[in-house]
Structures are given as structure tokens and as C-alpha cells.
Amino acid sequence: MNKNQANNPKTTLLLKINPTNPEPEKIQTAAQIIQKNGLVAFPTETVYGLGANALDSNTILKLFKTKNRPMDNPPIIHIADTYQVNLLTKEVPKNAEILMKKFWPGPLTLIFKRASIIPKETVANLDAVAIRMPKNKIALSLIKQSGTPIAAPSANISGKPSPTTAQHVYTDLNGKIDAILDGGPTNIGVESTVLDLSIDPPLLLRPGATTFEDIQAILPNVLLHHSIINSEQNVDIKQARSPGMLHKHYAPNAEMLLIDGAIQDIISKITTLAEQYRREGKKIGILATDETQKEYATMNTVKSMGSRLNLDTIANNLFKKLREFNESPVDIILAESVPTDGMGLAIMNRLQKASNYNVLKA
């Protein structure tokens, strides 16, 4: 391959595939691409992943480059059979076995001490490896058919909201990857829970649909990483506007403020702020909920994330709504917070990151 070819855009193959009964020939096509060290985006139950042969270091380097992902942030390795955990890890602690039995396949990623078979590029030189078994027929068939564990970070350009539809993947990665398996929108909408079992006590690094409470019921000594507990910062508007690239994640193009507190206070605060920003000539987006959206003036672009009575609906819509604000541009997004029980913790964690930790107390 000459230099020019390397920089040329590729043709990205788009394959619509049946999520309940994936067509074997489409899985075969995608699996062959993985085996030839190509990159294939595929749905999981959480978000779309960008799959690559986890055991080939050059492919992994290509994966990082394609996503524009910092090299120190390792992807999750996806497997289809529990025996693969033994191949990829040094030891499987007893508590891991219990969690795997209860929650796999499903939205729980476990971190283990790694085996030497995994190239150091795949784990960013760490001694640990993150593994999960997704609960999605397309993903499971693809992994099985490929005959190799598949490294799959979310299939977005780093820093953007994770993709929950094939269209989101297409927007970010068309011309850069070999194929997209379009199995429709994902069920859950936020990425898997990440739990570190390579240390004692176990530490929850990223909240997801397998909730902290779910894990606590089995491992009573599990801890929440301090950044998840202490991420609320009581900042005034001036401070809130200051950029801080460190945490940039899931970010819409517009600046975003997350308003926290009791629901009536949130509504009043957002109403006041919206009025204030409008006087400055700004276009305002409001990230509200089914129950509250009618409270805001219609001159604002108001979008509902879902129902407060069913936080799963909010998780499911969150990244989609953040991306929508890039298509109908606004200058500032004012977002409602939700309670942090159950799925709420995962939602708030993503909202905090999307807002770059610009959290205002209502």
C-alpha cells in the first residue's frame, strides 16, 4: 500500500441485519472482515461498538487511530463464551464467577488481571483487562463466527456521545471503517457498568444498567469510585463557563449546564437562566423530561430525554438527544438532573461528563 492509499477514505459496507434472527451470511461477511484485521461496527444491548481483533496489535493501533482515541484508554474485550475469560486472564476470582453467572450476557464489564496472550496495545500497557459478554444476538454471533475475542470501544469519534443507532456510527465513521452492521437502535442506550475486580474491595469505575445496588446485593463491600461520588461541583455561572478539557466526553457542540436539585427548583432555575441567556441573544436548548417539558417557554428548543417515572427511557434517549442538539444548533443547553438511584446514577454520570462538570445547584 502506498502512502496515498493509506489516507484515502474507504468504502464502508452498510449491512442491515435482523436483530432477533441475524442472517448467517451477513454475520459471515462481518466475521471475515474481523479475521482479516478490519474494523466492523456492530450493535450491543448498550451502544454500538467498533470491533477489532483483540489479539492483533496493529489492528488495535488502527482502532485507536480511527476513533481518535487517546492511547492510554484501553477498549473492552467482548467475548461470547465464558471459557474465553480463562484464556484472557491470569486468575478468575470467586466473586467474578458469581457475577458472570448472574449478569452475563449483559451490561457488566469486569476488570481482571490479564494474561500475556493479550497484546499490550489492547490494554494500554496495563496489567488488567476489561471483559464483557454482550446480550445481543448480532454481537454474540459475530464474536463466535470471528473465532477471536473482539475489542470494541463505543463506535464514535472520541469525545462525542456514544452511538445508539447505526446512523450515529455512520455520521462519525463513514469512510473510515470497513463495515457497519445495522441492527436497529440499542436497548439500553448508555455503556456498560465497569467494575474492577482486580483489586480488593471491588471498585465501580463506570455506572451502567447493571446498577450499583445490583452489585451491592452480591458484593456488599463494593465501592464507588470517588469521581462518581464527588463529581458535583457547586459552581457559579462564570466558573461554569470556563472550559476544562480534561473531562471532555459525550460532549455536544454547545456549552451545557446541568441543573441539580428538587424538581420544582430545577424548573425555576432553568426558566430564569433561559430568560437571562435569551436577553444575551443566545439560542437555548433545554434537556427536559416528559413530565416537565411543558413548563418551558416554546421559544426555547425543548427536548425530552424520557420519563422520570421510568429512568430506562431516559438512558435510552440521552445520547440521541445530545446528538440532536448538534443538528439544530443552540448556543447553550440547560439540562435537568435526575435522582441517582438505580439507573439514575449512570444517567447523571453521563450528564455530568457531557456538561464538562458544569453543575449548578438549583
Give the C-alpha separation, 244 to 352, whole Å.
Answer: 13
Residue whose C-alpha cell is 444548533: 329
| Stretch near ligand TXA under the rule CB under 6 A, chosen from 14-22, 150-158, 269-277, 340-348 | 150-158
Query: Pattern 25-44, binding to ligand TXA, x per CB under 6 A?
Result: -------------------x
C-beta closer to ligand TXA: residue 117 or 297: 117
Instruction: Mark 144-163 with x for binding to Mg ion (rule: CB under 5 A) and - for no binding.
Output: ----------x---------
- Give, rounded to a whole angstrom, the gap between the first and last alpha carbons of the chain: 58
Q: Reading across the β-sheet that carries 255-260, which strands appear in turn?
A: 301-304, 284-288, 332-336, 255-260, 359-361
Region binding ligand TXA by CB under 6 A among candidate stretches 22-30, 69-77, 210-218, 277-285:
69-77
C-beta closer to ligand TXA: residue 135 or 321? 135
- Please name the residues in contact with 4: beta carbons below 8 A apart, sequence gap of 6 or more: none
Nearest to 362 by CA among 343, 338, 327: 338
CB atoms inside a 10 Å sphere around CB 124: 16
Pick the binder of ligand TXA from 30, 31, 39, 47 (CB under 6 A): 47
Identify the residue among 33, 34, 76, 330 touching ligand TXA (CB under 6 A): 76
Residue 194 contacts residue 205 (beta carbons within 8 Å)? yes
Pattern 110-149, ligand TXA, x by CB under 6 A: -x-----------x--x-xxx---x---------------
**Cell numbers that stand for 169 in this block:** 456510527
**Residues in 241-270 at the binding interface with ligand TXA, rule: CB under 6 A:** none
| Closest chain position to Mg ion (CB) | 154
Q: Which of 22, 74, 106, 185 binds ligand TXA (CB under 6 A)?
A: 74
Q: Which is nearer to ligand TXA, 75 or 252 (CB)?
A: 75
Per CB under 5 A, does 317 bind Mg ion?
Answer: no
d(CA 214, CA 342): 8
Q: Which stretch binds ligand TXA (CB under 6 A): 74-82, 227-235, 249-257, 273-281?
A: 74-82
Select from Mg ion, ligand TXA, none the partner in contact with residue 129, using the beta carbon and a kind-dependent cut-off of 5 to 8 Å.
Answer: ligand TXA
CA distances in angstroms from 182 to 18, 42, 77, 126, 303, listed in the order given: 8, 7, 21, 33, 26
User: Considering only CA atoms, which of 96, 82, 30, 88 is closest in space to residue 54?
Assistant: 88
Residue with Cβ nearer Mg ion (227 or 301): 227
Residue with cell 476489561: 130
Burial 261-300 (b: 16+ CB within 10 A, else e): eebeebbebbbebbeebeeeeeebbbbbbeebeebbeeeb
Give me the phi and psi of 41, to 5 degrees please.
-85, 140
Helix, strand, or coil here: 182?
strand
Q: Give the separation between CA 195 and CA 282, rounded to whole angstroms.
A: 41
Smallest gap from residue 108 Cβ to ligand TXA (A): 9
Q: 187 to 216, contacts with ligand TXA by CB under 6 A? A: 191-192, 194, 205-206
Interaction partner, residue 73 (ligand TXA, Mg ion, none; CB < 5-8 Å by kind)? ligand TXA
- 154 lies in the site for ligand TXA, by CB under 6 A: yes
Residue with Cβ nearer ligand TXA (103 or 296): 103
Please give the residue ranges that form the binding site for Mg ion (CB under 5 A).
154
Please give the residue ranges that form the binding site for ligand TXA (CB under 6 A).
44, 46-47, 49, 73-76, 109, 111, 123, 126, 128-130, 134, 152-154, 191-192, 194, 205-206
